[in-house]
Chain A
Amino acid sequence: MEYEPVIGLEVHAQLLTDAKIFCGCSTKFGAAPNSHTCPICLGMPGVLPVLNKKVVEFMMKMALATNCRLNRGCLFARKNYFYPDLPKGYQISQYAQPPAEHGWVEVEIAGGKKRIGITRIHMEEDAGKLMHDEFSPVSRVDLNRTGVPLIEIVSEPDIRGAEEAAAYLRRLHETLVYLEICDGNMEEGSFRCDANVSLRPKGSETFGTRAELKNMNSFRNVQRALEYEIKRQQYLLEGGGSVVQETRLWDDTAGVSHPMRGKEEAHDYRYFPDPDLVPVVIDDAWVEAVRQTLPELPLERRERFVRDYQIPAYDAGVLTASRQLADYYEEVVRLSAEPKLASNWVMGEILRFLNEDKKEIRACPITPAALAELISLIKEGQISGKMAKEVVDQMYRTGAAPGAIIKEKGLVQITDEAALSATIAAVIAANPGQLAQYRAGKEKVFGFFVGQVMKATQGKANPQLINDLLKKMLAG
Chain B
Amino acid sequence: MELYELTIHELQAKLRAGETTAAEVTASVFRRIDAVEKDVRAYISLMRKSALAEAARAEEQLRKGEAGPLAGIPIALKDITCTKGYRTTCGSRVLDNFIPPYDATVVEKLRAAGAVFTGKTNMDEFAMGSSTETSHYGTTRNPWDLGRIPGGSSGGSAAAVAAGECIASLGSDTGGSIRQPAALCGVVGLKPTYGRVSRYGLIAFASSLDQIGPFTKDVEDCAIVMNVIAGYDPAESTSVPAEVPDYRGFLGRGVEGWTVGIPQEYFVAGIDPEVEAAVRRTITLLEGAGARCVEISLPHTRYCLAVYYIIAPAEACSNLARYDGVRFGFRAEGSRDLIDLYKKSRSAGFGAEVKRRIMLGTYALSSGYYDAYYKKASQVRALIKRDFDTAFASCDAILTPTTPTPAFKIGEKTDDPMQMYLSDIFTISANLAGIPGISVPCGFSAAGLPIGVQFLAGHFQEGRLIQIASAFEKLAPSEKRRPAL
A residues with a Cβ closer than 8 A to B are: 39, 42-51, 78, 80, 82, 84, 87-90, 141, 263, 268, 270-272, 275-278
CB < 8 Å neighbour of B237 from A43, A263, A276? A276
CB < 8 Å neighbour of A88 from B100, B208, B314, B321? B321
Q: Can you list 8 residue pairs at the A/B interface with Cβ under 8 Å?
A: A39-B100, A43-B327, A48-B235, A50-B234, A51-B237, A82-B324, A87-B322, A276-B207
Distance A270 CA – B200 CA, assembled complex (angstroms): 25
Which positions 258-314 of chain B face chain A at CB distance < 8 Å? 314
* A268-B367 in contact (CB<8A): yes
CB < 8 Å neighbour of B318 from A42, A84, A263, A270? A270
CB < 8 Å neighbour of B207 from A50, A51, A80, A275? A275
Check B101 for interface membership: any CB of A closer than 8 A.
yes
* B366-A268 in contact (CB<8A): yes
* A49-B237 in contact (CB<8A): yes
* B203-A46 in contact (CB<8A): yes
CB < 8 Å neighbour of A46 from B200, B208, B315? B200
Most interface-central of A42, A78, A276 (chain B CB within 10 A): A276
Give the shortest distance, in Å, between B409 (CB) and chain A (any CB): 32
Q: Number of A-B pairs whose CB atoms are under 8 Å?
A: 100
Closest to B338 in A: A84
Check B201 for interface membership: any CB of A closer than 8 A.
yes
Distance A89 CA – B322 CA, assembled complex (angstroms): 5
Give the shortest distance, in Å, between B153 (CB) and chain A (any CB): 16
Complex contacts, A47 vs chain B, CB 8 Å: 102, 200-201
Q: A45-B95, A48-B199 are in contact. Are A141 and B326 (CB under 8 A)?
A: yes
Distance A270 CA – B324 CA, assembled complex (angstroms): 18
Q: A270-B365, A272-B370 are in contact. Are A46 and B104 (CB under 8 A)?
A: yes
Closest to A42 in B: B327
Closest to A83 in B: B338
Distance A141 CA – B314 CA, assembled complex (angstroms): 28
What are the nearest 7 A-B pairs in CB distance? A89-B321, A275-B208, A270-B365, A275-B207, A45-B203, A46-B82, A46-B201
Complex contacts, A43 vs chain B, CB 8 Å: 322, 327
Give the shortest distance, in Å, between B283 (CB) and chain A (any CB): 36
Complex contacts, A46 vs chain B, CB 8 Å: 81-82, 88, 100, 104, 200-204
* B98-A45 in contact (CB<8A): yes
Which positions 236-276 of chain B face chain A at CB distance < 8 Å? 236-238
* B318-A89 in contact (CB<8A): yes
* A270-B237 in contact (CB<8A): no
Complex contacts, B206 vs chain A, CB 8 Å: 275
Give the shortest distance, in Å, between B82 (CB) and chain A (any CB): 4
Distance A99 CA – B88 CA, assembled complex (angstroms): 38
Complex contacts, A141 vs chain B, CB 8 Å: 326-327
With A47-B102, A89-B321, A277-B237 given, name 14 new contacts (CB 8 A).
A46-B88, A46-B104, A50-B234, A87-B327, A88-B321, A89-B320, A141-B326, A268-B366, A268-B367, A270-B317, A271-B365, A272-B365, A272-B370, A276-B238
Distance A78 CA – B374 CA, assembled complex (angstroms): 14
B residues with a Cβ closer than 8 A to A are: 81-82, 88, 90, 95, 98, 100-102, 104, 199-204, 206-208, 234-238, 314-315, 317-318, 320-322, 324, 326-328, 338-339, 342, 362, 365-367, 370, 374
Distance A49 CA – B324 CA, assembled complex (angstroms): 20
Complex contacts, B90 vs chain A, CB 8 Å: 45
Complex contacts, B374 vs chain A, CB 8 Å: 272
CB < 8 Å neighbour of B100 from A45, A87, A89? A45
Complex contacts, A50 vs chain B, CB 8 Å: 234-237
Closest to B374 in A: A272
Complex contacts, B362 vs chain A, CB 8 Å: 270
CB < 8 Å neighbour of A45 from B82, B235, B338, B339? B82
Most interface-central of A47, A80, A271, A277 (chain B CB within 10 A): A47
Complex contacts, A82 vs chain B, CB 8 Å: 321, 324, 342
Distance A51 CA – B237 CA, assembled complex (angstroms): 8
Distance A80 CA – B206 CA, assembled complex (angstroms): 15
Most interface-central of A45, A47, A49, A51 (chain B CB within 10 A): A45
* B98-A48 in contact (CB<8A): no
Complex contacts, A89 vs chain B, CB 8 Å: 318, 320-322, 324
Give the shortest distance, in Å, between A275 (CB) and chain B (any CB): 4
Give the shortest distance, in Å, between A329 (CB) and chain B (any CB): 45
Distance A224 CA – B26 CA, assembled complex (angstroms): 73
Give the shortest distance, in Å, between A23 (CB) and chain B (any CB): 10
Closest to A89 in B: B321
Complex contacts, B82 vs chain A, CB 8 Å: 44-46
Q: A46-B201, A272-B318 are in contact. Are A80 and B365 (CB under 8 A)?
A: yes
Complex contacts, B315 vs chain A, CB 8 Å: 272, 275
Distance A57 CA – B224 CA, assembled complex (angstroms): 42
Distance A51 CA – B202 CA, assembled complex (angstroms): 19
Distance A82 CA – B236 CA, assembled complex (angstroms): 25
Give the shortest distance, in Å, between B399 (CB) and chain A (any CB): 29
Complex contacts, B98 vs chain A, CB 8 Å: 45
Distance A276 CA – B206 CA, assembled complex (angstroms): 10
Closest to A278 in B: B237
Distance A84 CA – B204 CA, assembled complex (angstroms): 20
* A45-B88 in contact (CB<8A): yes
Complex contacts, B200 vs chain A, CB 8 Å: 46-48
Give the shortest distance, in Å, between A263 (CB) and chain B (any CB): 8
Distance A46 CA – B322 CA, assembled complex (angstroms): 11
Complex contacts, A88 vs chain B, CB 8 Å: 321-322
Complex contacts, A80 vs chain B, CB 8 Å: 317-318, 321, 365
Complex contacts, A263 vs chain B, CB 8 Å: 339
Give the shortest distance, in Å, between A469 (CB) and chain B (any CB): 81
Q: A45-B98, A88-B321, A272-B374 are in contact. Are A278 and B238 (CB under 8 A)?
A: yes
Distance A48 CA – B104 CA, assembled complex (angstroms): 11
Distance A48 CA – B208 CA, assembled complex (angstroms): 12
Distance A82 CA – B327 CA, assembled complex (angstroms): 13
* A45-B237 in contact (CB<8A): no
Complex contacts, A78 vs chain B, CB 8 Å: 318
Give the shortest distance, in Å, between B339 (CB) and chain A (any CB): 8
* A272-B314 in contact (CB<8A): yes
Complex contacts, A48 vs chain B, CB 8 Å: 199-200, 235-237
Distance A236 CA – B201 CA, assembled complex (angstroms): 56
Closest to B363 in A: A270
Distance A88 CA – B201 CA, assembled complex (angstroms): 15
Complex contacts, B339 vs chain A, CB 8 Å: 263
Distance A278 CA – B240 CA, assembled complex (angstroms): 11
Give the shortest distance, in Å, between A105 (CB) and chain B (any CB): 32
Complex contacts, A272 vs chain B, CB 8 Å: 314-315, 318, 365, 370, 374
Give the shortest distance, in Å, between A90 (CB) and chain B (any CB): 5
Complex contacts, B201 vs chain A, CB 8 Å: 46-47
Give the shortest distance, in Å, between B109 (CB) and chain A (any CB): 15
* A44-B328 in contact (CB<8A): yes
Distance A90 CA – B194 CA, assembled complex (angstroms): 24
* B102-A39 in contact (CB<8A): yes
Give the shortest distance, in Å, between A203 (CB) and chain B (any CB): 34
* B318-A90 in contact (CB<8A): yes
Complex contacts, B95 vs chain A, CB 8 Å: 45
Closest to B238 in A: A278
Distance A275 CA – B318 CA, assembled complex (angstroms): 11
Distance A42 CA – B318 CA, assembled complex (angstroms): 16
